[in-house]
Structure 1
Amino acid sequence: METFLQYGKTSLSVTVPDSSVVIEPRFLAGLSDEKAAVQQALLSPIGLPPLKDLVKSTDKVAIVISDITRPTPNDKLVPWLLEELAHVPDEQFVVINGTGTHRDQTREEFVQMLGEKVVSRVRVVNHHCHNKDELVHLGRSSFGCDVYLNKEYVEADFRIVTGFIEPHFFAGFSGGPKGIMPGIAGIETILTFHNARMIGDPLATWGNMENNPLQRMAREVNGMCKPDFMLNVTLNKDKAITQVFAGELFEAHEKGCAFAKEHAMVPVSERFDVVITSNSGYPLDQNLYQAVKGMSAAHKIVKQGGTIICAAECSDGIPNHGNYTEILQMRATPKDILEMIGDPSFQKFDQWQVQKQAVVQVWADVYVYSSLPDEDVKQAMLKPTHDIAATLEQLKARYGENMSVAVLPLGPLTIPYVSGT
C-alpha cells in the first residue's frame, strides 16, 4: 500500500507491505477562528487576571519565542500579543529568540518567523548562551550548576513566554518552562540540564512529567525568574492551532500537556521488526541533529535488533554548527560513544543529542532517507537509503517474508508505546 511521510515542506510517498500498521495521533481539526481563541485565552487566562490588566503602559515587556527549528506559529501569536498590549509603546518591547545552543537567526528568518510588520516595529534579538555579558547570574541550582539567564529577559518588567506543546523525547513535553530553560539559559546551565545522568534517567522520556529530572530542573530555574505569563498552543499535522493554553506558567502548561497526551500518544500491542518514521517535516527535519527525535520515537516500538528507517530532508545539513558531528566522530561505535559521554569528565554541548542517538543505535539499525550526501550520513554512523521500498525488500532477508512493519507518518508528533510499559 502507499502511505505518505511528512518530509520537508511537502510529503514523501512510500510503498509499504499491505500488513503495515500506520500509527498517527488522533486527528484534531484546527480551530475555526484561531485569533478569536487566542484573544479569549488572553482575556480569561488560567490562574491569572486578563493579560492586559497585568501590564502597565510603562512596563518594558520581554516576549520569549522558540527558534526556527520549532513550528510555533509566532507569526500569529506575537502580533496578537502586541495587539492585546497596544497600550504599551513599541519601543518598550523586546522579542528574544530562544536559541538555546542553536545558531542565530538572520533578519530574513525573523521575518519568516514573525512577519515583516513585527520585525520592523519592535526589537528582535537572538539569545547567546556563551556570552556572559548578555546573561545574569541568578544563583545556584540544586542540580549542581550556576544558573544564568538572558539579561534582557531578567531585567524586563513583564515577561511572556510563548511555545507549543508536544511530547518531547527527554523532557516529557515541550513548551512551558522549556521556553526559558534551556531556551534562554547560559551554556553552563544548559550543559547540566542535558548532562549524561539527566538524559540517561529512565524517567526522562516521551510524555512523562512525573519526577522527570529535566522538568524538575526546568521548574526550579523558571522559579528563579518566572515568566509572568505563558501563551502556548497545540498543533495538528497541518500546523493548525488545535487549542490554546494561556496564563500561569505551571498550571497552564500542565493542562496543555494533559491535552496533548490524550491525542498524541498511541498504544500498540507489541514491537515491530521495522519502524519507518519521519521527523514531522519542516521545520523540525531541517537537519540530522533534529532527526534524532524521529529515531527516538521509532525506538519506542521497534524490536531489539530491528531496523528504523527515518525520512528527514535535512535542508540545513547535519548542521555545520555545534558539536554534534565532532562528537559522533570521536569514537568508532555507538557503544563506545555512550561510554565516552557517560564519563563525568566529558562535557561538550550537543552531547545530549548524540547520547540519545547512540541509545537508539545500540538497540536497532538506523537508515536515513535525506538530501544529505551518503558520506555525511555514514560519518554519523547511520546508513543512507535512497529508496525506502527497496530497503524494505532487502530487510525481508533478515526478518522473513512476514516481517512486521509500523509507519509513523508524522514522526515525533505521534508517540507510540507498547501497552503495559
Structure 2
Amino acid sequence: MQIELLYGRDGLTLEMPAGADTHLIEKPAFPKAKKPGEQIADAFENPYGSACLADLCKHKSSACILICDITRPVPNHLFLRPMIETMVANGIPLPAISILIATGLHRPNEGAEMAELVGDPWVLDNVRVENHFALVDADHVDLGITEGRGVPIKLDRRFVQADLKIATGLVEPHFMAGFSGGRKVVAPGVAHHETIRTFHSARFMEDPAARECNLAGNPLHEEQLEIVRKLGEVFALNTVIDDKRNLVFCSFGEIIESHLAAVEFVRGYTEIPVGRKFKTVVTSSAGYPLDQTYYQTVKGMVTPLDILEDGGTLIVASHCAEGIGSQHFRAAQERLVALGPDAFLQTLMAKDFADVDEWQTEMQLKPMRVGRIQLFTENLSDDDFRITGVDRVSDLSTAIASSMAQHGDKAVAVIPEGPYVVPKSEPARQA
C-alpha cells in the first residue's frame, strides 16, 4: 500500500510494510465550493458582525492589511488585489494602503520570498509591503496590559494607527492557540517581543487548555481576544484550504465573529474521531511551507498525541530544507539535550518572559513524555540532528516495520497532512 505524505514541495510516497494494518486518518471531503473569486466577493458583501467591505472603506483615510508570513500557505494571491481595489473604489487613496507581514518573532520575508508570499505582481507594484519586526521597540505602541493575565499590549504602530484595520489569514488547528487566524494574526503576529514572550511563557504553555482545537478556557485565545478588543474596530478575512491548497471557505467581518464562523466550518473537517490509540503513529509536518525548519516540525509531533499509546512510537516526516531554525531555537535545543527534559522544564517555570523561540522546545517535551519520537528528513546535518533530541530514521517503511515488531502490534495510524488533521481517540458520536 502506498500513501502520499505532505513533505516539502513535492510530497513523499510512503510504502507501507507487508503485514501492516493501516489506519489512514484524513479529513472528510469538503463540500463543493464556488470559484475562489466568487467566494471572496460573497465574503466581502456578506460579512459577519460588520458592514460590507465597501461601506467600511467610506470616510477612511488609510488602511493596513495584515498577512501571515511565509510559514502559512494563505492564498493571498486570490484576495489582496480585490480587497485593495475595493478600498480605492470607495475612497481610500492607494498610497495610504499598506500591507504588513505578521512575522511575530520569525525572520522577515524579502525579495523573491516576499513576491511568492504576496503572490500578485500588481500588489507589489502598487502597494507598500513591509515586515513587522518584534524586536524594534520604536515600531510599537504601548496600550497597557491585559486585565486577565497581565500581558503587555504592545503592537505595531502601522496597524494601530491605520483608520481601517484588516487581518487576513488561514484558519486551521493550532497546537497552542486552538486555531490559527483571526486574532492570532494581530497578537502575536504584529506584537512586540515582550507580548509574544509572555504568551509563550511556561504559565501559558503548560496550561492544559492551551491545545489544538480548543478555545474554551484557552489562556492564549482569551488574551488575544482582549488585545484585539483594545484596538476598537478590527476586521478579518479568514480562509480555509484543502490538502491541494484550494480555497474551500472564507469569511469576512468583525475579527472575532468572522473568525468563529471559520472555526465552526473547519472544526468538523479537522477533528477526526478515531476511537482508539495506536502504538505506531506516522505523520508529516504538513509539507511546504510549514515543514521547512525543525522548529515548525514540532507542531507535527504534538498534534497526534491523543491517539499515541503511552510508550508508543511517533514517526514524523519533515523536509527541513532550511535546517533547524533560528539561533534562538538552536540554543534552546542545545539546552534540552544538555540538561534533559525535566531539568530543562524547570529552567522555564519561573520566567515571566520566555526566551525567544524556546517555547517550541518546551512543546517538544509533550510528545517526549508520551513515547519515542523518530524523524525522517533528508536535510539536517549530523550536527543539527544531534540537537533535535529525537531519533533519526533513514527509511520510513523500515522504521514502521521495526516499530510494529517492537510493540507486537500491526496497527499503524498514518496522518498524511500532519498538524492540519487532529485525530481524537474517542469514537465518533452517534447521530
Q: TM-score, normalised by structure 2?
A: 0.94
User: Which residue of structure 2 aligns with residue 218 of structure 1?
Assistant: 224
Tell me if the contact between 1:161 and 1:227 (Cα under 8 Å) persists in the aligned partners: no
Q: 1:365 to 1:97 in 2, by over 3 A?
A: same
1:384 correspondence with 2:392: yes
1:396 positional shift: 3.4
1:343 positional shift: 3.3
CA distance in 1, matches of 2:255, 2:354: 31
SS at match of 1:318: coil
1:126 correspondence with 2:134: no
User: Which residue of structure 2 aligns with residue 90 of structure 1?
Assistant: 94
1:290 positional shift: 0.6
1:176 positional shift: 0.8
1:322 positional shift: 4.4
User: Which residue of structure 2 aligns with residue 253 of structure 1?
Assistant: 259
Q: 1:74 to 1:65 in 2, by over 3 A?
A: same
1:70 correspondence with 2:75: no
1:348 correspondence with 2:355: yes
| Among candidates 248, 273, 280, match of residue 274 of structure 1 | 280
What is the aligned-residue identity percentage? 32
Tell me if the contact between 2:194 and 2:353 (Cα under 8 Å) persists in the aligned partners: no
User: Which residue of structure 2 aligns with residue 324 of structure 1?
Assistant: 329
Q: 1:48 to 1:345 in 2, by over 3 A?
A: closer
SS at match of 1:285: helix
1:226 positional shift: 4.2
1:36 positional shift: 1.2
1:57 positional shift: 6.0
Tell me if the contact between 1:335 and 1:362 (Cα under 8 Å) persists in the aligned partners: no
1:16 correspondence with 2:16: yes
Instruction: Tell me the matched-pair count.
Output: 419
User: Which residue of structure 1 aligns with residue 107 of structure 2?
Assistant: 103
Q: 1:385 to 1:226 in 2, by over 3 A?
A: farther
* More displaced stretch, 294-303 vs 212-221: 294-303
Q: 1:250 to 1:346 in 2, by over 3 A?
A: closer
Tell me if the contact between 1:57 and 1:89 (Cα under 8 Å) persists in the aligned partners: no
| Among candidates 318, 339, 344, match of residue 337 of structure 1 | 344
Cα offsets for 1:344-380 (capped at 9, x unmatched): 3673021221111112112111111112123312211
CA distance in 2, matches of 1:335, 1:183: 30
CA distance in 2, matches of 1:122, 1:227: 23
Q: 1:310 to 1:218 in 2, by over 3 A?
A: same
CA distance in 2, matches of 1:277, 1:113: 26
List aligned pairs for 1:134-173, cutoff 5 A. Answer: 134-142=139-147, 143-173=149-179
CA distance in 2, matches of 1:310, 1:36: 38
Q: 1:410 to 1:226 in 2, by over 3 A?
A: farther
CA distance in 2, matches of 1:246, 1:310: 35
1:81 correspondence with 2:83: yes
CA distance in 1, matches of 2:245, 2:278: 29
Q: 1:227 to 1:101 in 2, by over 3 A?
A: farther
List aligned pairs for 1:186-335, cutoff 5 A. Answer: 186-226=192-232, 228-319=234-325, 321-331=326-336, 332=338, 333-335=340-342
- Amino acid aligned to 1:325: R
1:420 positional shift: 6.9
* More displaced stretch, 61-70 vs 88-97: 88-97
CA distance in 2, matches of 1:20, 1:218: 40
SS at match of 2:292: coil
CA distance in 1, matches of 2:34, 2:270: 21
Q: Aligned-pair RMSD on alpha carbons?
A: 1.7
Structure 1 unaligned spans of 5+: none
1:334 positional shift: 2.2
CA distance in 2, matches of 1:347, 1:70: 23
Cα offsets for 1:213-264 (capped at 9, x unmatched): 1100000111111453210111100111111111111111111111111111
Q: 1:415 to 1:399 in 2, by over 3 A?
A: same
Q: 1:283 to 1:227 in 2, by over 3 A?
A: farther
CA distance in 2, matches of 1:226, 1:295: 37
Cα offsets for 1:301-332 (capped at 9, x unmatched): 1111111111110112112x241110111143
Tell me if the contact between 1:196 and 1:342 (Cα under 8 Å) persists in the aligned partners: yes
Q: 1:194 to 1:385 in 2, by over 3 A?
A: same
Q: 1:94 to 1:30 in 2, by over 3 A?
A: farther
- Amino acid aligned to 1:357: Q
Structure 2 unaligned spans of 5+: none
